[in-house]
Structure 1
Amino acid sequence: MSMICGIHRRTPGPVTGLAAMRAALPGAESATSAAWTDGAAGFGWRGDARLRKDRPGCTPLLDPGPGLAVTASARLDDRSGLCDALDIARGERAALPDSALLLRAYARWGRDCPNHLLGDFAFALWDARRRTLFLARDPVGTRPLLYSLSVDRIVFASDVGAVLAAPGVSDELDEATVAALLAPRPAVLGERTCYRTIRRLPPGHTLTVTQDTVRLDRWWRPENVPAAPTLGDDAVAEAFLALYASAVEDRLRGVGRVGVHLSGGLDSSSVAALATRANRRSGRPLPLTFSWQPPPRDGPNGPAEPAEHALIEAVCTAHGLEPIYCPPDAAGILDYVRRDGTRDLEVNPHEEPVRRAAAGRGVRVLLSGWGGDEGVSFNGRGYEAGLLRRGRFVPLWRFARERSRRPLAAILLRAALPLVWPDAARTLLDLRRGRPPARRRGFAHPGFAQRVRPPPVSALPRSGARETQLHLLRQGHLAERMDGWATSGAQRGIEYAYPLLDRRLLEFALGLPAERYRHGAGHRWLMRHGLRSLLPAEVRLHTSKQDPVRFGAFQAAVAAALPQVRTLLDARSVPPLRSGYLDMPRLRACLDPERHLAAPQYGGLLVALRFLDF
């Protein structure tokens, strides 16, 4: 994964601090770096220019004719179609890096150029003639891009630490964001960061900055995706699978060793199956599969396989793969909580063992099924409430009878209740898991919590599958995880890729009627029907998303790390600087491993420890 940074002076004066920013960019020891400067702008880049053998590297590039320069973290798809639209001769195309195509796209379409791009990208472009800096991010935010804007300049980078490395960027905390982090249910931050002067460029947006103006535009609007033509079940499934296979192949093209997440669920299993099929057909090495679960334990009659292991093994057996299990351990958890959570974007402590194992095996690109639940693997949540709200009582009754032996109760629970209480499903799930909402407590100091309120959280729509799907895409949790994996992956020379978040596949999903997700007696119909030829039936028809083996191993690792955390805190002669924001007596009480195992609350606890920065 390549990382970028840069500075644009909005007032007269030299560009200073670029070298410090470039040095702060995450990257493996083998990563190369490059820089470019002009009188009013300077760009930096760090990454592997040889990651893809089918195209030159995407380092900073200058086109002196129109006076354009670009730095990018990008992998453009459908290069052939883009080159056709840009009238680039066929003999010239292979030698052009993606950064050159970005320059030509901007020269042709200006600020509208992202609409003509497919793939994963975050880039910055300097237009010397217009004295304009242009930043752009792909629809779902697969590549991070943050910035700090002031009257005299704008500083941007792929990483918070690189932005803070620029001289004069304030490290003053944004207390409203801190309040959100330490709330009973830690919030998704969206475009905010923990620093008052640093913001994320939201996915699907561009930022145009001149000496006098700042313009933030949203270029991708999923709510405007048109409805798909009406097709039969098999035709829809075939169209979906063709798009999906293409999305996976685009992320494999020109890459050496590839890894794939494998949990045994529909999303990761289908990515693994399609990647295996594509590599087998092209003669490339089969992907390596990595799972967060611990290895199966041996029982008296051989390996004891809970459902999670059985599903993983079924996928591997069907496609000739070997599972690599990467469970967390206490040392990894301790390392995770000791990283400054205001700077380190990683939000998932499960992933570091996978990165370590993948890097040790030479993996360059790691495919993930992240994002499927918001696209083609959406479960149709809100469908019943939408039928009730629109007065479609006959289809609602028919649907409830197909899915439940008590259709009236099902209508009350899944259609009527969400109309008056949109968060009912989450609250009922908490109660089922023994976590009454009244008992949820964050780790903020009571005085701080009373003085500072977190920003408001956008409410879940009251009804409608489409409305719910759009809400999930805008919520920010997708980009939040990908930001962390991008920066952490870069440190090990690994690039993450997300086939299920391919723009073509997402727009296909958004164009489908809700019935395609809640077809018949099941949910996630499109995936289950479309993957009949790829996945074993026990994987394709498995409906539970619970993975107690993984969570149990993780909870045990956290419990084993907590005494070490307590020892480190007790050894300090003075409290950590940020301890005033936290309810330290409560935090210390939660460091008891027995208490943790009896009532795990690792999410808020780990967030609080990472914020503490001890």
Structure 2
Amino acid sequence: MSGISGIVSRSRNPSIRAHIDMMTRSLDHRGPDGSGVWVNEARNVALGHVLLATTPESKAERQPLSDMPGGVALTADLRIDNRESIHRSLRLESSPSDPLTSPKLLARAYRKWGAECTDHLFGDYAYAIWDGQSGHLLCVRDPMGVKPLYYVRTDSIFAFASEIRSLLTLPGVSDQINRRQVLTFLSGGYTPREETFFESIKCLEPGHLMHVFPDLSTSSERYWSPARQIEKLSLRKDSEYERKFRKVLEQAVGANLRSIGEVGILLSGGMDSSSVASVADAHERSSSAPLHTFSYTFPSLTERKRRFVDEREYIDAVLESGEFDPHFLDAGTLSPLHQLEDMVEVWGQPFNIRGLYTVSKILENARGNGVRVLLDGAEGDSVIGYGYDLLTQLGREDDWERFAEIARQHSENYQEGRRKYPPEKVFWNHGFGVIVEHLRRGRLRRFYRSANAVSKHLGIPRYLILKRSAYWVWPSHWRKKLRFMRNEERDLVPSEKFKRLGISREDRSALGDLPSDEPLHVQRSLALQENRALTNALEAMDPIFAAHHVEARHPLYDRRVIELCLSLPADQRFKGGWTRSILRRSLRNVLPDKIRRRLGKVTLEGVIAHNLRRFEKDRLSDFILDDALRPFVDREVATEMLDRFRESGEPDSACTRSLLRMAVVSVWLRKRRHGNLKGPPQTVSLPKE
């Protein structure tokens, strides 16, 4: 993990060295192991870099790289995981006196393949390459967006950096607020992924590259398009799928374990983190040092509350099956606003704090134990998939009898784990949309035929299917008016504000406007490559990890894992009534049975609300009633939410989420007003070397 920065000026810029120095110093908290700048005043270009060394070869890194054939120079936040295959393709040899670091491998790959070198790289990266012969700058970001890259373009310069605060140090770069982004965030939605909370600053999208030409014009394109490039995998036997999946997963986890320091794993007890931990333990079993695990549990909560959120029994099952050095955080004693001001200042933008408020405390513990690399399995279900698209496929084929059979199997598996998921609920969640789509498209005969078949095989009254279908084919603004008349919904952000900006409700969804008429495997690929919520979470994690000098690694986001999972037939992911079946079957001798046979997951919504009210009643009021929020929210609705939160025995999760978003925006607006979002972060909680 590193930090990168750079400037290309349209004409002579006598201050370019001072500007790149300031930009790079603004990233010093990301790189305790070295820094450097490269300036070519004749060509009006400058690059900067700060280093956090996490792999054996990275100790020899000296960036930016320059003086390469063709006048090529580069700066990279880069970790290449398929080093051996790159070595073979380029016929390279490394020596102890001149180790081939990842940036050097990138330079050789660019010399051979040009911009198409992205097709050959597996790993996490954000990099910029200056080509002195063409006078072009190439900026690239990895397929899932693990490494961020922000940029700004004015009449006189193009500049990029790992963090926005670096760009805000430049003269002429405005910190004007992007109202679209703020309003959409407060409403619980997402804007297009290139947008940030600052009007002038953009973000290079995951899986994209951008050419910057001498006149500062730009051309951006997607280089990784799994929806168009990946074909369905077809093997003869289930066992062949299992072997292939396990081999690729082991390869990805093994590559992510390379480190110069201790390695840790964020272990929640869920399927993804438990799989990563178990595979990593098997890979490192011969090592003398056990892997660290970091988990949050809730021993301080009452037994009734703990039952819904604590995963200690599953965490223990993993720990007992391997050799680990476990560390625990009692999240029941932690406020959801823990270190909020510091985290907002470190990233410089608002973020969804629900999944991150425990991270800072865990990172302090990890760093204290010498951990520089922390593996995370979060949101791996987005990659592997539950397999519910098999049910959608059966619905589209009008095979409601098989749909009902699988739904009953699935329900029985849930009952085995003492949980409830009745077959009719499976239909409402994963089959009902197919029927509604028939009605929307005017396929009335098929709609009635499907409704009759569902009623016959699943025992759902036909009138109920017809009633709910009629509701969902209404225009969205009619449904909204009906909810308002029932007093079910009042908008925190008035709809008029969105109308004035031309933003529809569909524009704010986590996946954007995905086509509904594509084949299901294409839809699934598009949903992954366009997932705004996932990108937002990764971008929020990066600066918080970087500030603690710990690199977050995501083995399940390895390109090889992703492409294999997207190529799998749906029935390999949902078999015998088990979702995520390929993962359960492939790791039958590695993953504890208690995890393999687990269905469902816990949600922290209840404990977040409980702790927010327990620790933050007074401070929350200061945030929610902050006058700086008036231009963005309906003050009356905000006050009603706050009162309802204080008085309700069990506050609803939607209300809690809205209050948290307002708190984050309030802090961000204050930080911006006081000038804390540009230049080196001033927060006192950052670790010191």
Aligned to 1:277, which of 258, 279, 282? 282
Structure 1 counterpart of 2:492, which letter? F
| Unaligned residue ranges in structure 2 (runs of 5+) | 413-421, 441-467, 473-482, 671-689
Q: Does 1:205 align with 2:208?
A: yes
Deviation at 1:219, TM superposition (A): 0.5
- 3-state SS, counterpart of residue 333 of structure 1: coil
- Distance in 1 separating the partners of 2:248 and 2:236: 16
Q: Does 1:236 align with 2:236?
A: no
On the 8 A contact 1:137/1:204 being kept in 2, the answer is yes
Residue 260 (structure 1) aligns with? 265
- Distance in 1 separating the partners of 2:37 and 2:189: 38
Residue 562 (structure 1) aligns with? 616
- Distance in 2 separating the partners of 1:296 and 1:531: 34
- Distance in 2 separating the partners of 1:444 and 1:187: 14
On the 8 A contact 2:66/2:72 being kept in 1, the answer is yes
- Distance in 2 separating the partners of 1:449 and 1:218: 29
- Distance in 2 separating the partners of 1:454 and 1:329: 40
**Residue pairs, 1:132-281, within 5 angstroms:** 132-183=136-187, 185-187=188-190, 189-212=192-215, 213-223=217-227, 224-281=229-286
Deviation at 1:363, TM superposition (A): 1.3
Residue 388 (structure 2) aligns with? 381
CA deviation vs aligned residue, 1:399-430 (integer Å, no higher than 9, x gap) = 456546997885576324345269999x99xx
- Distance in 1 separating the partners of 2:311 and 2:526: 30
- Distance in 1 separating the partners of 2:628 and 2:407: 56
- Structure-2 change in CA distance of 1:38 and 1:116 (3 Å): same
Aligned to 2:488, which of 424, 439, 443? 439
On the 8 A contact 2:623/2:662 being kept in 1, the answer is no
- Structure-2 change in CA distance of 1:439 and 1:199 (3 Å): farther
Which has the larger share of helix? Answer: 2
- Structure-2 change in CA distance of 1:167 and 1:418 (3 Å): farther
Aligned to 2:362, which of 331, 334, 354? 354
When Rg is computed on C-alpha atoms for both structures, the one with the higher figure is: 2
TM-score, normalisation: structure 2:
0.79
Deviation at 1:563, TM superposition (A): 2.6
Task: Point out the more displaced range, 37-46 or 68-77.
Answer: 37-46
State the identity %.
26
TM-score, normalisation: structure 1:
0.87
- Structure-2 change in CA distance of 1:328 and 1:401 (3 Å): closer
On the 8 A contact 1:346/1:485 being kept in 2, the answer is no
Deviation at 1:211, TM superposition (A): 1.8
- 3-state SS, counterpart of residue 439 of structure 1: coil
**Residue pairs, 1:493-572, within 5 angstroms:** 493-547=549-603, 550-566=604-620, 568=622
Deviation at 1:447, TM superposition (A): 6.1
Aligned to 2:322, which of 313, 319, 324? 319
Structure 1 counterpart of 2:501, which letter? V
- 3-state SS, counterpart of residue 29 of structure 2: coil
On the 8 A contact 2:299/2:332 being kept in 1, the answer is no
Residue 63 (structure 2) aligns with? 59
Residue 606 (structure 1) aligns with? 660
Q: CA RMSD in A?
A: 3.4
Task: Point out the more displaced range, 403-412 or 256-265.
Answer: 403-412
On the 8 A contact 2:308/2:602 being kept in 1, the answer is no
- Distance in 1 separating the partners of 2:103 and 2:25: 22
- Structure-2 change in CA distance of 1:264 and 1:569 (3 Å): closer
- 3-state SS, counterpart of residue 134 of structure 2: coil
Structure 1 counterpart of 2:254, which letter? E
- Structure-2 change in CA distance of 1:112 and 1:69 (3 Å): same
Deviation at 1:594, TM superposition (A): 2.8
Aligned to 1:84, which of 83, 88, 91? 88
Deviation at 1:512, TM superposition (A): 1.0
**Residue pairs, 1:331-480, within 5 angstroms:** 333-336=337-340, 340=344, 343-344=348-349, 346-347=351-352, 348-376=356-384, 378-390=385-397, 396=403, 399-400=406-407, 402-403=409-410, 414-420=430-436, 439-444=488-493, 448-449=497-498, 451-454=500-503, 456=507, 457=509, 458-459=512-513, 462=516, 465-473=520-528, 474-480=530-536
On the 8 A contact 2:178/2:196 being kept in 1, the answer is yes
Residue 131 (structure 1) aligns with? 135
Q: Does 1:293 align with 2:297?
A: yes
CA deviation vs aligned residue, 1:498-536 (integer Å, no higher than 9, x gap) = 000100111111111111111122111011111111122
Deviation at 1:151, TM superposition (A): 3.3
On the 8 A contact 1:248/1:499 being kept in 2, the answer is yes
On the 8 A contact 1:380/1:523 being kept in 2, the answer is yes
- Distance in 2 separating the partners of 1:560 and 1:506: 41
On the 8 A contact 1:374/1:469 being kept in 2, the answer is no
On the 8 A contact 1:83/1:93 being kept in 2, the answer is no
Task: Point out the more displaced range, 150-159 or 198-207.
Answer: 150-159
- 3-state SS, counterpart of residue 601 of structure 2: coil
- Distance in 1 separating the partners of 2:495 and 2:423: 45
- 3-state SS, counterpart of residue 25 of structure 2: helix
On the 8 A contact 2:514/2:526 being kept in 1, the answer is yes
Deviation at 1:239, TM superposition (A): 1.4
Residue 443 (structure 2) aligns with? none
Residue 310 (structure 1) aligns with? 313
On the 8 A contact 2:150/2:201 being kept in 1, the answer is yes
CA deviation vs aligned residue, 1:274-331 (integer Å, no higher than 9, x gap) = 2222222233x2222122332376979xx99976221111111122433422516556
Task: Point out the more displaced range, 332-341 or 18-27.
Answer: 332-341
Task: Point out the more displaced range, 103-112 or 57-66.
Answer: 57-66
Task: Point out the more displaced range, 493-502 or 28-37.
Answer: 28-37
Aligned to 2:22, which of 20, 29, 44? 20
On the 8 A contact 1:105/1:113 being kept in 2, the answer is yes
- Distance in 2 separating the partners of 1:231 and 1:94: 47
- Structure-2 change in CA distance of 1:114 and 1:155 (3 Å): same
| Unaligned residue ranges in structure 1 (runs of 5+) | 429-434
CA deviation vs aligned residue, 1:140-174 (integer Å, no higher than 9, x gap) = 11101111123322111111211222221111122
- Distance in 2 separating the partners of 1:441 and 1:125: 49
CA deviation vs aligned residue, 1:313-372 (integer Å, no higher than 9, x gap) = 111112243342251655661531675488236533332222222122221111100241
Q: Does 1:587 align with 2:638?
A: yes
